[in-house]
Each structure stands twice: as structure tokens, then as C-alpha cells.
Amino acid sequence: MEFMHNHKVRIYRVCLFFTGLLILSAFVLLSSGCSRITENPEKVGTVDQASEKPTSESPTPTRPIPTIALLVYTPTPSPIITVTPVPVIEVNPQLIGEIELWHPYQTGSLEKAAMDQVVEDAGIMFPNLSLTVLEVPASEIGRDYQIDFVAGSGPDLMIMNNDQLGNMALSGFVEEITLEPDQSSGQFAPQTIAGLQVDGRLYGLPKSYSSVILYYRKSMLETAPRTTEELLEMVRGGKTFVSVLSSYHLFGWAGAFGGNLFDGNMRCIADQSGWVEALNYLVELKSAGALFVGDHQAAEQMFLNGDKALLVNGSWELNKYIEAFGDDLGAIILPQGPAAGAVPLIGVEGVFLNPNSQYKDAALEVARFITSPLSMKEFMDISHLLPARKDIDSQNEYYLALGKPSINGMAIPQDEEFTNYWLPFGDMFVSVLNGEISAAEGVSRACSLLNSANGK
């Protein structure tokens, strides 16, 4: 830095001139001096986000401009700057091909922002791979995929919820997948693997999951309820509680009281234990002041209006409530019951491989990258999609409260027998909570209808 050097010399000469002048004029000053030139050992440079190393265009590290003082010099400590490490992505230039990926995340959403970041990372990892990404609405992605598949085309990869997986797998629309040894050793939560299995075979890689959780306003509660008894006492004490009334949202309470829906032969056994006790608990909650609302949007609006302390709803609404309440929003898993933890239904979002793909090996590598710890951490930190893996390192408040604990729930079965659960048990919850029949009568009737529909 020639300019800096000349600048220092000129300053120093000026200092010497005045020093000499002052010595000759000893009647004015007794002494004067110049400060020491201090050197900061820290190097300065720009960081390449892909590798954390200085780029070729980084300026050569230089010493800072020295401080010159005529009287007293007091060194000022340098500020401590904390830099978040940029993840190192291992580059794989050998992977080639042309991959088309469909996903359901809307433009402008946090989910889309997370997807964009993962795609950018994939571009760094696979520099010689052509990856085309297309946004398809969630309500249309399964249908459009099947239409294209029948025509012999379709995307190589598709991200989709597992609610249509059973029929698609049995029809041969998605490729069966075998986990790598490192993947099958427990990194994925077992429930997320189960959610992508049909007849014991795996038909996708799990990326994220959704579940019913308990939202609350921190400003309205001293502590969040960790048990069913604590929740009941809060409601009795005047804390306002709202829950969506449906056979999906209320399923998990049975597990907290030791209830099971099926035995090993897929025969309904809800009338044998747990379910009646769980329903009686919900009736007690309602008597204490809890609200069970069949209209999802109406129940949600009660919470968003700002005067309700607690809400039971799906984890997919997390971003909406964070936007509404900011740091005042808390979220936890459903409270522990007297018999066990609650067992809500778990939906799984997976990455599925098209059997028509001309680049299956490359597509599978991209699917593995999308479901890697790095990608899942970005989906969680950016968009709060709960990760299907158990080995990601995130300090996100909601991950620590919801995703960090072992996933407590049951993957929505892809068995045909489970499809017959929704209607009879949906009617049961409504009839019992409206006081039309007792909990025992409701469970007995619903279980009988389910077994009849399944020929059990």
C-alpha cells in the first residue's frame, strides 16, 4: 500500500518538525512525543461463501493506519466480530445429467426461500449437473405428475406430502428406494420412514414432517402446560383454549391415555382402552371453558384475534403465527398424559423418484442431498419445516421445542384400512363433544363401523 506508507512518513516528519521546534522553544513546552505505531495481527479478507477461504480477488492483508498523538495515547480495543461459519459443501463434479425437480412451495413464501437456498447449494455441490426446478401448487402436483407419468414423462424428482403415496406406489408411479447404510442406521426418525412405506417397501426419502402441536401466547402464560392435568388447570383458571374439532386434530389425545386404534391385524381396538378416557378428558376440558371448533379457519381466527392463550393446530401454520405474534409465540408438542406422551398423526413430506427418469442415479444423489443434514437445517432455520432427520444441528427455538425431541406420534398409515378411520371417528368426536352421546357409546360405535368397513 504505497499511499498508506507515504502518508505515514509525512505524518511522522510533521511530528518531528514540531518536536524539534518545541525543544528549541523550551520556554513553551518541556517535552513532546509521538505515539508508538501499533500493529493489529488480525488478517482482513473477503470470504468465499462456498469455501470460507479468501477469494482470488481478496485484497492483500494490510496493517491498519497508525495512530499519531502529540500528548497522550490510549489504545482502543478492537471490537469482537462474530462470524457465522458458512457450511462447507463437498463438490462432486462427476455427477452429470439433466434433472427436473417439482416442488409445491409458493413464490414469496419462506418455504420457497429455503428451497432456493438448497437448490443454490446443490449447484455448488454438483457443478456439472443441470437442475431445472418447477413450482407446482400442492393441490395439483400429485395429479399433474400422474398425468405426465402415464404419458411417459414427468419430472425426475418430486417433493410431495405422503397423502397420495399409497395408490401411487401400488400403481408403480414412484420408484422404490433402498437406503444407504449410513441412512438406515437411525438418522431418519422411524415415523418418517414408516410414512413413506407401502407394504414394507420404501418409496421416497423423508424430508420433513408435520404434526398437531400446541401454540400459546407467552405473554398470557407463566409457563407452557407440559401435562394434560396442567392444561386442564389452566383452562379452569380462565386461560382460553381453542382446538380444531376433527378426527385429525384430536387423534393424538388417545395415546396420552394409553389408547391404540388397531391391533396387529388392523382390527379396531379403540374400545378396549385409552380412547374413552381421552374423550372424557376432552369433555372435561370443554366443561371448563375450552372451545372445540369444527371450522378450521374460524378456530384459527379466534387465536389470531389475540385474546386466546392456547390453540391446537397443525405445525404447517407456524410461519403464519410467528408473523402475527413474533417473539410472543410459543409452540410445544401436545402435553404428556397420565399413561404416556400424546401420539398425534404425522404427515411426511418426501422426495420421490420417477421410474421414467433417464438419470435415476443422478436424481437419487440430488434427492439424498435435499434430505441431507445441511439441507434440512436450512429448511428448518429459514422456513420452520420440521426435519425428518434426527442429526441436524440447529439452535432455532422452534426446532428445540418441536423437532429436537424424539418425534412423538404415528405416521399416517398408508394401509387401505386406515382410510376408513376418518368418517366414523370424525362423527364420534362431534357427537361426544356436543353432548349427544357418551364417550363410551361414541367409541364403541365408531370402532364397530371401522371394523365393518374393513371386513374385520
pLDDT in tens, 89-125: 778 888 999 999 999 999 999 999 999 999 999 999 9
Q: At residue 21, does pLDDT exceed 80? A: no
CA–CA dist 322, 170 (Å, integer): 39
Calculate mean pLDDT across residues 253-280.
96
Q: At residue 295, does pLDDT exceed 80? A: yes
The larger pLDDT score, comparing residue 367 to residue 50, is at 367
Domains 99-209+346-408 and 212-343+415-453 share a fold: yes
SS3 letters across 320-331:
HHHHHHHHHEEE
**Helix intervals (H) in 57-163:** 110-125, 138-150
Going edge to edge, which strands form the sheet with 310-314? Answer: 291-293, 241-244, 310-314, 212-217, 329-332
Give residue 142's pLDDT band: very low, low, confident or very high (50, 70, 90): very high
What local confidence, expressed as pLDDT, does residue 393 receive? 85
Check if the beta carbon of residue 409 is closer than 8 Å to that of residue 315: no
Calculate mean pLDDT across residues 74-96.
54
The larger pLDDT score, comparing residue 316 to residue 65, is at 316
Calculate mean pLDDT across residues 332-347.
95
Give residue 30's pLDDT band: very low, low, confident or very high (50, 70, 90): very low
Of the candidate ranges 57-61, 96-100, 291-295, the one whose mean pLDDT is the lowest: 57-61
Q: At residue 56, does pLDDT exceed 50? A: no
CA–CA dist 382, 117 (Å, integer): 9
CA–CA dist 385, 40 (Å, integer): 44
Q: At residue 5, does pLDDT exceed 70? A: no
Q: Which residues of 136-145 are buried (b: 16+ CB within 10 A; e: fewer)?
A: beeeebbebb
Calculate mean pLDDT across residues 65-88.
35
What local confidence, expressed as pLDDT, does residue 181 receive? 62
Q: How many residues does the chain have?
A: 456
What architecture (CATH level 2) is domain 99-209+346-408?
A: 3-Layer(aba) Sandwich (3.40)
CA distances for 53 relative to 80, 91, 149, 167, angstroms: 20, 15, 44, 49
Helix H or strand E encompassing 103: strand 97-103
Q: At residue 450, does pLDDT exceed 90? A: yes
**Helix intervals (H) in 295-350:** 296-304, 318-325
Q: At residue 47, does pLDDT exceed 80? A: no
Check if the beta carbon of residue 332 is closer than 8 Å to that of residue 402: yes
What architecture (CATH level 2) is domain 212-343+415-453?
A: 3-Layer(aba) Sandwich (3.40)
CA–CA dist 306, 386 (Å, integer): 25
Of the candidate ranges 178-192, 400-414, 433-447, the one whose mean pLDDT is the lowest: 178-192
Only one residue has cell 387423534, namely 251
Q: At residue 398, does pLDDT exceed 50? A: yes
What local confidence, expressed as pLDDT, does residue 111 receive? 97
What local confidence, expressed as pLDDT, does residue 75 receive? 33
Question: Cβ neighbours of residue 284 under 8 Å, at least 6 residues apart?
Answer: 232
The larger pLDDT score, comparing residue 450 to residue 30, is at 450
pLDDT in tens, 194-245: 999 998 899 999 999 999 999 999 999 999 999 999 999 999 999 999 999 9
Q: Regarding beta strands 310-314 and 241-244, do their DSSP bridges make them parallel or antiparallel, or are they unpaired?
A: parallel
Identify any residues that bridge with 213 across adjacent strands, giving them in sequence order.
Answer: 313
Write the single-letter amino acid at 10: R
DSSP letters, 195-237, are TTEETTEE-SEEEEEE-EEEEEEGGG-SS---BHHHHHHHHHT
Check if the beta carbon of residue 165 is closer than 8 Å to that of residue 353: no
What local confidence, expressed as pLDDT, does residue 27 receive? 36
Q: At residue 261, does pLDDT exceed 90? A: yes
Side-chain-facing half-sphere of 393: CA atoms under 13 Å: 2
Mean pLDDT of the chain: 83
CA–CA dist 105, 136 (Å, integer): 7
CA–CA dist 274, 256 (Å, integer): 8
What local confidence, expressed as pLDDT, does residue 341 receive? 93
Identify any residues that bridge with 331 across adjacent strands, giving them in sequence order.
Answer: 215
Side-chain-facing half-sphere of 235: CA atoms under 13 Å: 22
Q: At residue 136, does pLDDT exceed 60? A: yes
Provide the 10 A C-beta neighbour count for residue 113.
15
Alpha-carbon dihedral sign for residues 159, 360, 364, 378: negative
What local confidence, expressed as pLDDT, does residue 6 receive? 38
CA distances for 319 relative to 83, 184, 208, 401, angstroms: 27, 31, 15, 15
Question: Cβ neighbours of residue 320 under 8 Å, at least 6 residues apart?
Answer: none
Give residue 2's pLDDT band: very low, low, confident or very high (50, 70, 90): very low
Q: At residue 48, does pLDDT exceed 70? A: no
DSSP letters, 133-164, are EEE--HHHHHHHHHHHHHTT---SEEEEEGGG
Provide the 10 A C-beta neighbour count for residue 283.
17
CA–CA dist 319, 279 (Å, integer): 30
What local confidence, expressed as pLDDT, does residue 407 receive? 72
% of the chain at pLDDT higher than 90: 70
Give residue 297's pLDDT band: very low, low, confident or very high (50, 70, 90): very high
CA–CA dist 238, 454 (Å, integer): 43
pLDDT in tens, 173-201: 999 998 876 555 568 889 999 999 998 89
So where are the chain's domains?
A: 1-41+63-74, 99-209+346-408, 212-343+415-453
